[in-house]
Amino acid sequence: MATHSKYIIIGAGLSGLTTAYKLQQQGENDFLILEGRSTVGGRVQTVNGVDFGATWFSNQHQHLNQLLQKLQVPRFEQYREGKSQLIYNSMAPPHYFENDDGGMPSFRIAQGSNALIAALTKELAGKLRLDTTVSDITEEGDILVLQTGVGSFTAGQVIVTIPPKLSTLLNYSPPLPATLLESMQKTHTWMSNAIKLGMTFSAPFWRENGLSGTVISQISPVIELYDHTSEDNSTFALMGFVNEGLRSESPAYRKERILSYLEGCFGPEVREYLSYEEKDWSKDEFTACPNLTSVYMSPQYGNPCFDAFYLQGKLLFSGTETSSVYGGYLEGAVYSGIKAAAKLLTTAKV
């Protein structure tokens, strides 16, 4: 017999967890969150103190900052002191520059972005079903039936928070409008192209040498790199983005190219790392789709098609890619989650 809930949220990333938290805050507890991964957080992942997914935010991201304050999760300012490096010609030495003290500061979540996920999850005990991948959503009268690899679930309303492109891989009965599916297919999945790099060290040697840890270059093995030391100095790290051109290379070759390049930026101490890890999001089945294409301009998010319910008011799409407010950011995920919860509470079905 299928498990029935008033609401089912597909996806335990930041958007889905925020929706659940907001429902609970309004006194609504008849909901379940179904997550295909064996872990919560979606594209928020912290490993050995390094964020391999969503990381930075600013004071402008009001909904995220309010949520952090509500859950008493502290933040701290991204380290920017010292000289940063801009490399725009492989044949020329790097251009050194100082960060603008008058610029808008960026922040990180203390203890890593997973601290926010952990705080939300703690509030939602008993509401999560991990390793539960939805394959079919079928309308049957006043309810929707969800088929998964571990049984079926039913709900009066369902909110899908997985990336729109991945959402098109589900089987819908009756079918969704062709125009909606086309828009979903065209919506770029945030992080799906990224290869992130994280290295930890016994000491922040770059700081001791007057460097900020920031390196920017579109022509090098690492296109962006930043200081990723923890707020309490328990972890000293550098984190950044690997050039996609190295994706097809062997891990050993890619690693040596990266280390050789960073050695030129920071000196031989960069090879004295405690840990070296990469996260290629294009190989994450719950993030990327086959036939991935690179995006060289900022993608457009918040298509108006995601504002509407489908399947006669029973199905809603959410997530950072659907947000008209800072889509693709942590803020977009939080905002979409808040907005979705409000919609559900005003249109309850069964």
Looking up residue 214, the CATH number of its domain turns out to be 3.90.660.10
Residues 206 and 270 occupy one common structural domain: yes
Residues 128 and 267 occupy one common structural domain: no
Helix (H, G, I), strand (E, B) or coil at 337: helix
DSSP 320: G
Q: What is the full DSSP assignment across 243-300?
A: -GGGTTS-HHHHHHHHHHHHHHHH-GGGG--SEEEEEEGGG-TTT--SS-----SPPP
The total domain count for the chain is 2
Sheet with 211-216, edge to edge strand ranges:
95-98, 83-86, 211-216, 222-227, 236-242, 195-201, 275-280
The gap between the terminal CA atoms of the chain, to the nearest Å, is: 17
- CA angle 299/284/38 to nearest 5° reads 125
Using the 3D structure, point to which of 245, 260, 283 is the last residue of a domain: 283
How confident is the model over 246-302, as pLDDT tens digits? 999 999 999 999 999 999 999 999 999 999 999 999 999 999 987 666 665 678 899
Q: Does residue 57 lie in a domain region? A: no
Residues 214 and 268 occupy one common structural domain: yes
Q: How far is CA 350 from CA 5, 20, 158, 346, in A?
A: 8, 17, 11, 13
Contact status, residue 251 vs residue 279, Cβ threshold 8 Å:
no
Using the 3D structure, point to which of 261, 283, 305 is the last residue of a domain: 283
SS (H, E, C) 95-125: EEEECCCCCCCCEEECCCCHHHHHHHHHHCC
Q: How far is CA 347 from the centre of its chain?
A: 28
Residues 274 and 133 occupy one common structural domain: no
**CA neighbor of 218 nearest in space, from 338, 318, 90, 95:** 90
Residues 42 and 147 occupy one common structural domain: yes
The span from the CA of 46 to the CA of 64, in Å, is: 18
Q: Can you list the residues of the chain whose pLDDT is less than 70?
A: 101-102, 291-297, 348-350
Residues 198 and 128 occupy one common structural domain: no
pLDDT at 293: 64
Which amino acid, one-letter code, is at 160?
V
Domain with 211 in it: 82-109+193-283
Q: Does residue 248 lie in a domain region? A: yes
Q: Does residue 64 lie in a domain region? A: no
The span from the CA of 313 to the CA of 26, in Å, is: 21
pLDDT at 291: 67
Contact status, residue 186 vs residue 300, Cβ threshold 8 Å:
no
Phi, psi angle pair for 208, to nearest 5°: -65, -25
pLDDT at 322: 98
Using the 3D structure, point to which of 283, 303, 335 is the last residue of a domain: 283
Q: How far is CA 36 from CA 10, 130, 195, 315, in A?
A: 9, 6, 22, 19
The span from the CA of 157 to the CA of 5, in Å, is: 9
Q: What percent of the chain has pLDDT over 90?
A: 89
How confident is the model over 298-339, as pLDDT tens digits? 788 999 999 999 999 999 999 999 999 999 999 999 999 999
Residues 120 and 39 occupy one common structural domain: yes
Residues 99 and 197 occupy one common structural domain: yes
Q: What is the full DSSP assignment across 44-71?
A: --EETTEESS---B-TT-HHHHHHHHHT
Q: Does residue 56 lie in a domain region? A: no
Q: Does residue 259 lie in a domain region? A: yes
Residues 143 and 228 occupy one common structural domain: no
pLDDT at 179: 97
Contact status, residue 57 vs residue 65, Cβ threshold 8 Å:
yes
Which CATH number do you get for residue 168?
3.50.50.60
Q: Does residue 63 lie in a domain region? A: no
Q: Does residue 235 lie in a domain region? A: yes
**CA neighbor of 90 nearest in space, from 181, 248, 220:** 220
Residues 233 and 278 occupy one common structural domain: yes
Residues 340 and 255 occupy one common structural domain: no
Q: Does residue 321 lie in a domain region? A: yes
Residues 130 and 275 occupy one common structural domain: no
